[in-house]
Structure formats: structure tokens, C-alpha cells
Amino acid sequence: MKRAMLVIFAAVFAMISTTSVVSADSNTGQKIFKKKFRKKCGFSGVKFARHHTQGEWEELWESGKFKEEAKKICPRLKIEDIKESWWEHVYDFSYEYASDGVIPKC
């Protein structure tokens, strides 16, 4: 019985840890913004995110126009320098800190 519980616990833990690795993360998006966007934009990530509401960011993401909007907000940004895998993290960051989203603690 003890062994069966251990196997079940290990399976559940593996499923939970795999799910969190696959999903995007707003903290990672914030780090990417600081490293790759900030100098080109000339302002903070929160100021970037506050350009739209959560609904507007979601609509841009779903329609595939998120990168274009990032370029509009930050004209000096070189989209080709941003790895494809980073965009989802930047979107999550933008969504979380949108004008109707989370208020930053700083």
C-alpha cells in the first residue's frame, strides 16, 4: 500500500511539474523585456503593458498581431532579434500588467 501511494505521488508530481514547464510565465516575460526590449523602447515593461487592457492584449495575441503591436509601441525594436519562444512569455507579462490588470508593487 505504501509503495502504491509513493508511485501515485510520483506520477502526480511529474504531471504537475511538466505542466508548469510548458506554460508561459509573466516573470520570465518581465526578464526578457528588461534584457531585450527596454533599451529599444526607452521605457519600462509596465509602461509597455499599460498600453492596452487585458482584453485588447488577448485579442492581439489570438489574431497574431502581438508582434506588430510591440513594433508599433517600440519602433526601434528588431523583432527578428526576439526568439520565437520568448513571445508567449512577453505576452503573459503584458496581459498580467495591462491597464486593467495587476498593479505593480514598486
Span 44-86, pLDDT tens digits: 999 999 999 999 999 999 999 999 999 999 999 999 999 999 9
Handedness of CA 89, 92, 97, 99 (dihedral sign): positive
User: Which residues are CB-neighbours of 41 under 8 A, at least 6 positions away?
Assistant: 48, 73, 74, 76, 77
Burial class (CB in 10 A: 0-12, 13-18, 19+), 94: buried
pLDDT per residue as tens digits for the range 80-102:
999 999 999 999 999 999 999 88
Q: What's the chain's length in residues?
A: 106
Q: Rounded to two decimals, what is the model's pTM? A: 0.74
Q: Cα separation of 106 and 94, whole Å?
A: 16
